[in-house]
Amino acid sequence: MAPARSPQLRNKLRAKRRCTTTWSAAGLGLLCLTERETVTAVGCFGDSHTEGLYGAEWVSQLQRRLRRECVNFGRNAWTCASVERRVRQAPALEEAVLLAGTNDAMMELAARAGNEGMLSLYRTMNQLPAEYEPSRENFSKSFRSLLAAVRAPRVAVLSLPPLGEASEKSEAARLLEGYNEEIRRAVDDDTRERVTYVPFGEQLKGKSGEDFDASSSGFSQSIAQMFLHTALRRVPGIGPSFDTLGSFYGREVVHDKIHLTERSASLLVELLAEALAGPPAELADQSGSGQNDLGDGVARAVRRTGWALRLVPSKWRKDRALALEAVEKDAVALKFVAEELQQNAGFVCEAVSRNGDALRYVGSEFLWDLKVVQCAVRQNGLALRFAVPELRSDLSLVREATKSTPKAFAYACGPLKWDRPLVTEMLSLDGTLLQHLPQELRCDRDVVTAAVQQKGRAIMPGR
């Protein structure tokens, strides 16, 4: 049974009575449906991939990217049946993300490997009958029931990431390919206009070559790595990333053969940001509306989500004020402004001054422009990571970036990372920067002491 919702979450998701908008079957026109309870939030449903405890957490990243509230409804070890129970208890949402089925797949792999202990554990945790037998057919039925239960006019359905990083011919890879085919078919058969299949798993290609072992001993090893990596990752202050922990075994996609690395989570966020950037209601074809009304609709849409700029006619993409408003709301909007604005140094400076993250999307020539980069790091010191290494070696620029965000020193390059007085000064502001220093300095007593004095537990776990 899903845990009771906390008072804080209830307050967060307090529904508002309002008229809900959606697209007509032909994709045209703004329809006003009957009133029902909705919330202005994106509900993220799934298992441990979504919960983000044993792998890279992505829901908060998505919230920052979309600049809309994203609520995490994920829970470790849930199969589609358990996710569906949580979906049915959740309030109605404007948008939803669904990533479920990995545990169903692991159950079938366990059955094939004769791992009755794992099967029994998953049946118990998910309130499944003792006689339940995992199979592609049963997964398809369960997933279709889950998808139908999601109450949201727009749903992004992610395909499943790999188990292990073996070739496409491995048993786990072939099984997941079949499960993802069932997910795609369920999305294709859904009658709602805005249910989208997001090919996440198809874009994850690992390099370790390890297959997923669902036998009793193999599964135990993966779970042991899961707990070890999670404990190391949670070391206060400077626990190594899941990317780093996975790299010890040559893994890039899943650090323990099951859960996502930060690299995989970043790809997931990028794909979801695009999938959830479909036409806002304000951009529906308002037949009979005047140009002023249509222009007002464009402005409202862009103010709600900067991504909407990619969906508007070109004449509005040339509007400097509207473009700046869009970039301020969402950095990626800079990709969709008119080309003449993208090539205008004055506009680019003003855009990154409003949203430093927009430096990621400027033309390559501006990444060498000290003035542009300075504008970006003054707004957000972490934007330093998007600059070329030559500028990240500039002391004045690094100091500008670290004024309000000492963590930006992690992206400094060249001799700056070896400048002991500077390093000590930065560590006095943020001891967690120790993990970003060269190995030789991380073993230096004076440097480590400076870090520990600022952050009592700023100690790197040993390799």
Contact 384, 401 (CB under 8 A): yes
**Is residue 161 in some structural domain?**
yes
Contact 41, 68 (CB under 8 A): yes
**Is residue 269 in some structural domain?**
yes
pLDDT of 454: 59
**Is residue 25 in some structural domain?**
no
Count of positions (residues) in the chain: 463
pLDDT of 139: 96
d(CA 268, CA 271): 5
Give residues with Cβ within 8 angstroms of 269, minimum separation 6.
58, 61, 62, 65
Going by pLDDT thresholds of 50, 70 and 90, the confidence category of residue 73 is very high
Average pLDDT, integer, range 374-403: 87
Contact 98, 156 (CB under 8 A): yes
Q: Is the pLDDT of residue 104 over 90?
A: yes
Give residues with Cβ within 8 angstroms of 377, minimum separation 6.
356, 383, 384, 387, 397, 400, 401, 408
Lowest mean pLDDT among 19-33, 188-202, 237-251, 418-432: 19-33
Contact 1, 85 (CB under 8 A): yes
Q: Is the pLDDT of residue 315 over 90?
A: no
Lowest mean pLDDT among 3-12, 199-208, 413-422: 3-12
Count CB-CB contacts under 10 A for residue 54: 22
Closest to 102 measured CA to CA, from 46, 53, 152, 59: 46
d(CA 188, CA 185): 5
Average pLDDT, integer, range 346-372: 89
**Is residue 231 in some structural domain?**
yes
**Beta-bridge partners for 21:** 32
d(CA 221, CA 127): 25
Tens digits of residue pLDDT in 394-452? 888 888 888 878 888 888 887 887 877 787 777 777 777 676 777 777 777 777 777 67
Q: Is the pLDDT of residue 287 over 80?
A: no
**Is residue 87 in some structural domain?**
yes
Q: Is the pLDDT of residue 195 over 80?
A: yes
pLDDT of 192: 78
Average pLDDT, integer, range 98-114: 96
Average pLDDT, integer, range 39-48: 84
pLDDT of 87: 94
The DSSP line for 126-182 is TT--TT----HHHHHHHHHHHHHH---SEEEEEPPPPSBS--TTSHHHHHHHHHHHH
Give residues with Cβ within 8 angstroms of 449, minimum separation 6.
none
CATH number, position 264? 3.40.50.1110
Closest to 78 measured CA to CA, from 106, 46, 53: 46
**Is residue 164 in some structural domain?**
yes
28 versus 2: which is more confidently predicted? 2
Average pLDDT, integer, range 210-237: 92
Give residues with Cβ within 8 angstroms of 156, minimum separation 6.
95, 96, 97, 98, 196, 198, 272, 275, 276
Domain extent, residue 132, equals 37-275
Q: In this prediction, what percent of the chain has a pLDDT beyond 70? A: 80
**Beta-bridge partners for 22:** 31
Q: Is the pLDDT of residue 46 over 80?
A: yes
pLDDT of 451: 67
**Is residue 366 in some structural domain?**
no
Single-letter residue type at 343: Q
The total domain count for the chain is 1
Going by pLDDT thresholds of 50, 70 and 90, the confidence category of residue 333 is confident
Going by pLDDT thresholds of 50, 70 and 90, the confidence category of residue 97 is very high
Pairing of β 95-99 and β 70-74: unpaired
Average pLDDT, integer, range 223-241: 91
Mean residue pLDDT of the chain comes to 80
Going by pLDDT thresholds of 50, 70 and 90, the confidence category of residue 80 is very high
Cα three-residue angle 276-277-281, rounded to 5 degrees: 100
Rounded to whole angstroms, what are the CA distances from 95 to 70, 146, 293, 413?
Answer: 9, 15, 26, 41
pLDDT of 168: 66
Record the pTM: 0.58
Closest to 402 measured CA to CA, from 377, 367, 436, 385: 377
Going by pLDDT thresholds of 50, 70 and 90, the confidence category of residue 36 is very low
d(CA 360, CA 377): 12
Going by pLDDT thresholds of 50, 70 and 90, the confidence category of residue 85 is very high
Closest to 302 measured CA to CA, from 284, 272, 324, 318: 324
Q: Is the pLDDT of residue 33 over 50?
A: no
pLDDT of 7: 45
Q: Is the pLDDT of residue 169 over 60?
A: yes
pLDDT of 269: 94
Strand residue runs (E) in 16-66: 16-18, 21-23, 30-32, 36-38, 42-46
Tens digits of residue pLDDT in 219-230? 999 999 999 999
Going by pLDDT thresholds of 50, 70 and 90, the confidence category of residue 25 is very low
d(CA 214, CA 47): 18
